[in-house]
Structure 1
Amino acid sequence: MSNRVAIVDLGSNSCRMSIFEIDGESYRPVYEVKQNVRLAEGMTGNRRLTDASVERAIACLRQFVRQGALHDVDEWMPVATAALRQAENGDDVRRKIEQDTGLRFRILTGEEEARYGFLGVVNTMPIQNAVIFDIGGASSEIALMRDRALIRAASLPYGALNLREMFGRYGEQACVRMASDRAAEALAEHAWVQEGELLPLIGLGGTARALAKLFLAETHRKTPRLHGFELPASYVEVKLKQLQQMSVNKRRKMKGIAKHRAEIITTGLAVLATFVRTLKPPSLFVSRCGIREGLLFERMLGSADPVVPSVLEFSVRNFQRHFRIDRAAAGAVADMAMRLGAELSQRLNLDASDRLVLWTAAQLEGAGAFVHPERWRDHAAYLVLHSDLYGLRPAEWQLVAQVVRFDHRDPRAKKLSLLLRLSRWLALELGVEPHEVSRVKGGEIQIETGRRIQDIAEDTADAKVADDIRKALQITCSFRESGSAALSSAR
């Protein structure tokens, strides 16, 4: 029985809602919305949330409640973070918000906030060891992950918005310097952070996403999504120095910076630059998944340690349920692909990444029929690129889309797509089992079955794959009936 759950994250700068349809241990994103409410604006000094910021939050949440009703939400999971956590009038504000919206908020501790960010990352990114950070409006969370386990977590009481309010009156250069010093002092209180030295940094939140968008615009690159995107850690200092020399109005016109973030981007980057100087990471990764996805996985898996054993396998199974892929057929093709990949590994120079891409493509290619059986390859490629598929590096994920489309423009994609076609032909159209691929000798795949497959091979839908793979990869298929000494090659 499916259940629609709305997860609301009321932050210091923005408020977000994600609606998911949960069915057992699978889920489907239904709706997502964000609004910039600046709840922590004006809180610096007396540590009280202002009436204006509270009214902005209430107006936003009322709209979220209406949108949730329109999407048949069964269950609400509203959480609030640093603004309500730090404010002296936080309890009063929470009661007013609950009275005016009907939503019952749970105020996360800093450590809980960091843990949910970790859960959002560990269940959607194929990284074993890293330091995870989330620079918010009024706090910054940092967590150490080793062997996909949360080791330590902490929350610093400084973020892009409150640092701007604290030091903005001193001018841009001084503001950035003072924000960096304050972040460094807070970070120094957690000696364990040094254990993350030289590990990759994974960034959640608007500061990390804005930095990645600036990098993409500056390098004239494109990516279908930011999740998992990698950029050099050295870029943080370079961009911070450039941005702090520009006016806020000029920053507002830059591609990659939202207008509401133009004023606070430098204080957010000042915190991030402090992390980079302290930890000296080799690279920086961006995660689009964070607190809301962490709450989702805890709600869905229902264990004290809601971490999936394999990000890719879990994501593939979820993708298959979502797009109603026949798992028996997909498994048959994948098993054949793995058999052929193992036998042809040396001849075709296949590495572990190639085999992973081939396996994933075999499991997901059937998704195209969910849209329509005609042009199913194009539909499958689109769904791969624009759905929640996790567990691959960005280059591998985009290669999977090329392979399911049978795209021959890239040599690597051509090789793997031909192997996928051959696997489909053997497993689905001819009914060959992996163990019937008796051996590969030179450039010949020898198949021994109890049936005279050679009599029907040329009449099957994709019989042309035999010629295509012979011409492109110099590989032929030979069939032999069990007990017969004669071999017949597919031409």
Structure 2
Amino acid sequence: MTQTLAILDLGSNSIRTTITEYDNEGNFQVFERLQEMVRISKGMGKEKTIKPEALDRAMKALASFKEVYDKYKNLKIIAVATAAVRQAANQKEFLEQFKKVMGFSLKVISGYEEAEYDFYGVIGTLPVNDGVIIDTGGASTEIILVQKGALKERVSIPLGAVNISESFLDGDPITSASLFRASVELSSILNNLPWLKEAVNYPIIAIGGSNRTLAKIRKNELNQTELPIHGYHMNRQNVDDIIYELLNKTNEERQNIKGLAKERSQIIIGGLLPIRLIMEKIDCEQIIFSQSGAREGILFKEIETQTKKSIQTTDISNMTIDEI
């Protein structure tokens, strides 16, 4: 007996979905992987309103996903939204439009839930004992403390690549004054997380398109493009060298950096600021990159719930796409 399951993840930057078939033993195979960069959180501003242009981009992408879903019989769909929709003042309007287009409801998960799913996505695909998981999205950053393979602490802060960039780093090139303001704001939030002191010298497990861009740039520099991002390692000096290079370029110049998607060039500095400040705070020397996060965590939890079979650390080579 098999079940076909779609996980739909409405992030602040992109909308992603996977369609997976699993059996009673918990074995699974991914059939479809789709992603569209729609930047839902673009221009939300202090009023936290999803703009009409962003709503239109999202609905057009979703309509194309629905065409794929309609090819499957007896497809179960779990659809979740994260920070942008979570924070939106016009959330109700967005949810109503979603149901009108898709024919089913969208669940808005809390940052606390998102962090938990991140944990399960990482633990199910990487051998992590002690570490700090950082998932930097467009409008939030989830930080999870892992000790002895268990989730010890978690938090979601309402700052990510898009809203950091729009609130503080809108100059071109980015000025030292604006970078300082953004760093002070983020540091004040991190200083209210006393449990980070328990993570001194721990490695960081990095999730999210901005964080994974570090690995993509580094792999291009070393002609290692054939290596997978999942499980890729970098040290602090590698990270600093790349951020220094990015800061010394205009947005147009950044678009020519191999490994950096043009769609991400304007927000990449804001997207990398959380991980760099946390590296400094916990004296971290090693980053491990994960292509498995909340979407995979939802999948693993659903399979465990339905089959009563625990997901062991698994190869995700057939699960993920090289995300924008």
Residue pair 2:30, 2:318 contacting (<8 A) in 1 also: no
The residue aligned with 2:293 is 290
TM-superposed deviation, 1:251: 1.0
Q: Which amino acid aligns with 2:146?
A: M
Pair 1:203-2:231 in alignment: no
Higher helix share: 1
Residue pair 1:120, 1:293 contacting (<8 A) in 2 also: yes
**Match 1:178 to one of 154, 166, 181:** 181
- Report % sequence identity: 30
Write out per-residue CA displacement over residues 451-471 of structure 1, whole angstroms, 9 at most, x where no aligned residue. xxxxxxxxxxxxxxxxxxxxx
Larger relative contact order (C-alpha < 8 A, sep ≥ 6)? Answer: 2
Pair 1:13-2:16 in alignment: no
Write out per-residue CA displacement over residues 5-54 of structure 1, whole angstroms, 9 at most, x where no aligned residue. 11011011111011111112111011101101010111012111111111
The 2-side partners of 1:175 and 1:137 are apart by: 19
The residue aligned with 2:27 is 26
Q: Which amino acid aligns with 2:289?
A: V
Deviating 4+ runs (over 6 angstroms)? none
The residue aligned with 1:129 is 130
TM-superposed deviation, 1:220: 2.5
Residue pair 1:298, 1:306 contacting (<8 A) in 2 also: no
TM-superposed deviation, 1:229: 0.7
The residue aligned with 1:268 is 271
Q: Which amino acid aligns with 1:227?
A: H
> Residues 126 and 42 (structure 1 numbering): CA distance in 2 closer, same or farther, change over 3 Å?
same
The 1-side partners of 2:51 and 2:318 are apart by: 40
**Any residues of structure 2 matched to 1:237-252 within 5 Å, and which?**
237-252=240-255
The 1-side partners of 2:285 and 2:131 are apart by: 11
The residue aligned with 1:39 is 40
Q: SS at the partner of 1:183?
A: helix
Write out per-residue CA displacement over residues 252-298 of structure 1, whole angstroms, 9 at most, x where no aligned residue. 11110111001111111112111111111130000000111100110
Identify the range of structure 1 (33-42 vs 177-186) with the bigger mean alpha-carbon deviation: 177-186
Q: SS at the partner of 2:42?
A: coil
Q: Which amino acid aligns with 1:97?
A: F
TM-score normalised by length of structure 2: 0.92
**Any residues of structure 2 matched to 1:125-204 within 5 Å, and which?**
125-171=126-172, 172-173=174-175, 174-204=177-207
**Any residues of structure 2 matched to 1:378-389 within 5 Å, and which?**
387=318
The 2-side partners of 1:26 and 1:293 are apart by: 14
Residue pair 1:122, 1:307 contacting (<8 A) in 2 also: no
Write out per-residue CA displacement over residues 464-486 of structure 1, whole angstroms, 9 at most, x where no aligned residue. xxxxxxxxxxxxxxxxxxxxxxx
TM-superposed deviation, 1:222: 3.7
The 1-side partners of 2:108 and 2:290 are apart by: 23
Q: Which amino acid aligns with 2:43?
A: G
For structure 2, the residue ranges without an aligned partner over 5 or more in a row are none
TM-superposed deviation, 1:240: 1.3
The residue aligned with 1:258 is 261
TM-score normalised by length of structure 1: 0.62
TM-superposed deviation, 1:67: 1.1
Q: Which amino acid aligns with 1:238?
A: D
Q: Which amino acid aligns with 1:146?
A: Q
Count of residues paired in the alignment? 316
**Any residues of structure 2 matched to 1:347-386 within 5 Å, and which?**
none
Q: Which amino acid aligns with 2:90?
A: N
Q: SS at the partner of 1:234?
A: helix
TM-superposed deviation, 1:194: 1.9
Q: Which amino acid aligns with 1:22?
A: Y
Write out per-residue CA displacement over residues 77-112 of structure 1, whole angstroms, 9 at most, x where no aligned residue. 100000011111112211221122213111110111
> Residues 199 and 253 (structure 1 numbering): CA distance in 2 closer, same or farther, change over 3 Å?
same
> Residues 231 and 68 (structure 1 numbering): CA distance in 2 closer, same or farther, change over 3 Å?
same
Q: SS at the partner of 1:70?
A: coil
The 2-side partners of 1:296 and 1:306 are apart by: 13
The residue aligned with 1:75 is 76
Identify the range of structure 1 (206-215 vs 227-236) with the bigger mean alpha-carbon deviation: 227-236
For structure 1, the residue ranges without an aligned partner over 5 or more in a row are 320-385, 390-491
Q: Which amino acid aligns with 2:283?
A: K
The 1-side partners of 2:225 and 2:180 are apart by: 33
Residue pair 2:231, 2:289 contacting (<8 A) in 1 also: yes
Q: Which amino acid aligns with 1:165?
A: E
Q: SS at the partner of 2:70?
A: helix
Is the radius of gyration larger for structure 1 or structure 2?
1
The residue aligned with 1:412 is none
TM-superposed deviation, 1:73: 6.0
The 1-side partners of 2:170 and 2:264 are apart by: 18
TM-superposed deviation, 1:221: 2.3
Q: SS at the partner of 2:169?
A: helix
TM-superposed deviation, 1:306: 8.5
The 2-side partners of 1:213 and 1:158 are apart by: 23
The 2-side partners of 1:250 and 1:262 are apart by: 9
**Match 2:239 to one of 236, 240, 245:** 236
The residue aligned with 1:340 is none
**Any residues of structure 2 matched to 1:407-446 within 5 Å, and which?**
none
Residue pair 1:236, 1:272 contacting (<8 A) in 2 also: no
**Any residues of structure 2 matched to 1:84-103 within 5 Å, and which?**
84-103=85-104
Write out per-residue CA displacement over residues 154-195 of structure 1, whole angstroms, 9 at most, x where no aligned residue. 001100101111123455023333222222112122211221
Residue pair 1:84, 1:91 contacting (<8 A) in 2 also: no
The residue aligned with 2:2 is 2
The 2-side partners of 1:178 and 1:77 are apart by: 39
